[in-house]
Amino acid sequence: MDIKEQILAMGARALAASRTLSTLSSETKNTILLAMADRLEASGTDILAANALDISAAEENGLSSAMIDRLRLDEQRLSVIADGIRQVASLPDPVGEVISRWQRPNGMDITQLRVPIGVIGIIFESRPNVTSDAAVLCLKAGNATILRGGREAINSNRAIASALQSGGESAGLPPNSIQLIPFTDRESVRHLAEMDQYLDLIIPRGGAGLIETVVSLARMPVIKHYDGICHVYTDSEADLDMATAITVDAKTQKPGVCNAMETLLVHSDTAGDFLPEAAAALQQRDVELRCDKKAKEILGEGVKEATESDWRTEYLDLILSVKVVDSLADAVVHINEYGSHHSDCIVTANENRAERFLAEVDSATVFWNTSTRFSDGEEFGFGAEIGISTDKLHARGPMALRELTSYKYLIRGDGLIKGEAG
Amino acid sequence: MDIKEQILAMGARALAASRTLSTLSSETKNTILLAMADRLEASGTDILAANALDISAAEENGLSSAMIDRLRLDEQRLSVIADGIRQVASLPDPVGEVISRWQRPNGMDITQLRVPIGVIGIIFESRPNVTSDAAVLCLKAGNATILRGGREAINSNRAIASALQSGGESAGLPPNSIQLIPFTDRESVRHLAEMDQYLDLIIPRGGAGLIETVVSLARMPVIKHYDGICHVYTDSEADLDMATAITVDAKTQKPGVCNAMETLLVHSDTAGDFLPEAAAALQQRDVELRCDKKAKEILGEGVKEATESDWRTEYLDLILSVKVVDSLADAVVHINEYGSHHSDCIVTANENRAERFLAEVDSATVFWNTSTRFSDGEEFGFGAEIGISTDKLHARGPMALRELTSYKYLIRGDGLIKGEAG
């Protein structure tokens, strides 16, 4: 069999598995998940040996130390992954929820029931923990998964997938519920993305290049987790101490993540008071500022000037672009034009202005007097997330178990026919 | 400007319009809709003159009389379209609904709010009424539309779109809320489907060929309304009179629509009693039967034999494939394998068996003792539908106003920061 045929065969097996998976009780699924977590820890020696192969290949191939660190597993990281599985087991099962139920005048009884999506493809890059995190969340929601990881982590991914499968199957997991594609070439991404007869959804987890590739190839729905170009807007009626605290938190608490702030917008009425104070707090934490003309006039010649491309850049680093705006409306226009519709915040003491910002900013999550860093499934109380969707269809913002489900309508009648016509 | 540039410019204008549209009150939107309905009727002379151009072109080009009939407008059909708009005005507005709201232990207040999707592209074939039906539903849900109709109806579509725009704008519709692409070549479909910087969703309304083209080109989410290969399964414990009534209704009440039955499955225990009775009732209504071997043994040599391709065919006509199965499980396997996951029915007096069928058939709508013809937005009480989605993501089954919306999270805090780390 060539690669395409092998991937198609995996698709057919996943579909068969998904039919059984969709009928499992929550209890059975949780038992399976706990067995998977235990097996993952019990297979530590095998997994770490496989990981060592990936690490030495990465070193030979001259990967950066940051990339090698992302690739590296140890006992502690394995325990974190296993505990993540146990946490997913403890979450409520979204499947089987009656979303709504109503009767029609003719007696027709309609139930909208939450059901699994079916088969989900996950394409990811180097971090081997995604193998477990993604498969486990999908499984809890009753879905089969086909995983396609990056070449750098292929040995680690194989070992992890194997532990999850054998541990799960020992507790009743249908075979082929979690499958890892053994190929890491680009063609395997194409075959997976074109296989819409088996795959209901594809989720790329990685950089913009990977997402672009999947978007252009995929025939089935794609849920994208694009960049976060997040803004904090300090309004003319902001409490300046609060604004400084939120600015510092949103930029520096964890700068390398998608919900960190990349651009600070400041109302011109308050810029003279606020900017020097905020700049001092940020510079104390080694943040480089890139300012528009007006901000530069306030902060002096020492600061860098921003270029047009700065407003569209996700730095993921201790760099912040700063712009003075003349009105709340200008802030909204800037955010809707240059942002990535991810997470944006207004700091103001004026409720009317806050509500206007919340209504007009077209982003997945819009904050009032709250750091953008709270744009996160765990912070929302969802327990675990598969990512933060920058799409507007099906899932927007933090995407957790519920967003890994679909629904169906069940209709109960007593011999109802339309009649007439025909 | 070339075609691509013109379509991109339409996209930018639609996005700008959608920002204003999303802030309109329900009252304003309803006033706009009523003005559109009135203007459509007042423009009857112009629209019918434009339609006459399309009809004579169609006749010159030798289109079938069925196609010409679909294309043809008259005063009465225009009134039906206008009344459809008035009905949409009377429906509840989904936008602004608080889907859920909760507080986190840290005081963070989270609201999940229903909002418009933004800009929706609609690609449709010959029926000019889609211009109005689709644009109006999207508008009620606060969305801007870009419409691309077929060549056969271009004059009618232009006249209808122009009436809707001018009527709407007289009552406050933002300009460019409803735009019709003036090109009908295939390249314009490509440009629209690739324009993901402006379009949030694309909905093809038409045959499988059109949907295929859009699916393979589109970079944004597509909601598909594929074939309905719908089944009725008569169980061993069915009330046979009810089974006959539902069979006749599902097949003959309106055979040319997606929720009509195409395949009848009959449990072998009951086939000897049921099939002759059902066949007589169907043949009395001129239904041609295509039977598997066992059904043919019961019904005699007079009936046609089904081929493998019959089980995958949406006849949309007075033709029915018939198969005898040995169990409920076999019926479910057949439906999940050969059906289109649209609408399927079990007739049985046994509740346990019904519930098993409802759970295991993987279709958008699954019926117990109810004709598949009830798979319909109006029958569900949704008021109007844009189609019946055969997708599992975002919208499944009858797709109405609510399915033309997205959501966003609004977070209200009091200076909340994550702190630590960084």
Whether residue B366 and residue A410 make contact (CB cut-off 8 A), yes or no, is: yes
Cβ(B374)–Cβ(B252) under 8 Å?
Answer: no
| Residue A330 reports pLDDT greater than 50 | yes
Classify residue A332 as left (phi > 0), alpha (psi -120 to 50) or beta: alpha
pLDDT digits 0-9 by tens, A404-413 = 999 999 999 9
Whether residue B216 and residue A219 make contact (CB cut-off 8 A), yes or no, is: yes
Residue numbers of chain B with a pLDDT score lower than 50 = 422
> What integer pLDDT is reported at residue A417 of this predicted model?
97
Nearest-CA distance B49 → chain A (Å) = 32
Residue pairs spanning A and B at CB distance below 8 A? 214
Of the candidates A39, A22, A127, the residue with the CA atom closest to the CA atom of residue A85: A39
> What integer pLDDT is reported at residue B37 of this predicted model?
97
Residue found by looking up tokens 């020492």 in the block: A302
CATH 1.10.4190.10 describes domain B230-379: no
Q: Cα–chain-centroid distance for residue B72? A: 22
Q: What is the CA radius of gyration of chain A?
A: 24
What is the mean predicted confidence (pLDDT) over A121-146?
92
- pTM, to two decimals: 0.94
CB atoms within 10 A of CB A135: 28
Using CB atoms, pick whichever of B117, B392, B417 lies closest to residue A406: B392
> What integer pLDDT is reported at residue A422 of this predicted model?
46
> What integer pLDDT is reported at residue A365 of this predicted model?
98
Whether residue B362 and residue A19 make contact (CB cut-off 8 A), yes or no, is: yes
pLDDT digits 0-9 by tens, A180-221 = 999 998 899 999 999 999 999 999 988 889 999 999 999 999
pLDDT digits 0-9 by tens, B68-85 = 998 999 999 999 999 999
| Domain residue spans of chain B | 3-224+396-410, 230-379
- Give the integer Cα–Cα distance in Å for A190 and A122: 13
Residue A396 with chain B: CB contacts under 8 Å = 406-409
Nearest-CA distance A206 → chain B (Å) = 18
pLDDT digits 0-9 by tens, A18-27 = 999 999 999 9
> What integer pLDDT is reported at residue B155 of this predicted model?
96
φ and ψ at residue A14, rounded to 5 degrees? -65, -40
Nearest-CA distance B419 → chain A (Å) = 6
Nearest-CA distance B204 → chain A (Å) = 14
Q: Which CATH architecture group holds A3-224+397-410?
A: 3-Layer(aba) Sandwich (3.40)
**Percentage of chain A exceeding pLDDT 70:** 100
> What integer pLDDT is reported at residue B344 of this predicted model?
98
Residue B221 with chain A: CB contacts under 8 Å = 221-222, 391, 393-394
- Give the integer Cα–Cα distance in Å for B50 and B160: 9
Of the candidates A194, A218, A215, the residue with the CA atom closest to the CA atom of residue A206: A215
What is the mean predicted confidence (pLDDT) over A56-72?
92
- Give the integer Cα–Cα distance in Å for B136 and B120: 12
Task: Reduce the DSSP state of residue B303 to 3 states and report it.
Answer: coil
CA distances (Å), B193 to each of A389, B1, B200, B403, B409, in order? 21, 19, 10, 20, 28
Structure tokens at B219: 């970079």
> What integer pLDDT is reported at residue B421 of this predicted model?
59
- pLDDT-based confidence at A226, cuts 50/70/90? confident
Best of B235, B410, B414, B420 to disrupt the A interface by mutation (most A CBs within 10 Å)? Answer: B410
| Residue A62 reports pLDDT greater than 70 | yes
Whether residue B392 and residue A200 make contact (CB cut-off 8 A), yes or no, is: yes
> What integer pLDDT is reported at residue A390 of this predicted model?
92
> What integer pLDDT is reported at residue A191 of this predicted model?
96
> What integer pLDDT is reported at residue A421 of this predicted model?
59
Residue B360 with chain A: CB contacts under 8 Å = 19, 23
> What integer pLDDT is reported at residue B4 of this predicted model?
95
Q: Which CATH architecture group holds B3-224+396-410?
A: 3-Layer(aba) Sandwich (3.40)
Structure tokens at A248: 């510092």
Whether residue A408 and residue B366 make contact (CB cut-off 8 A), yes or no, is: yes
Count the alpha carbons within 13 Å of B289 in the hemisphere toward its beta carbon.
27
> What integer pLDDT is reported at residue B126 of this predicted model?
73
Q: Cα–chain-centroid distance for residue B5? A: 30
Using CB atoms, pick whichever of A216, A398, A408 lies closest to residue B219: A216
> What integer pLDDT is reported at residue B29 of this predicted model?
98
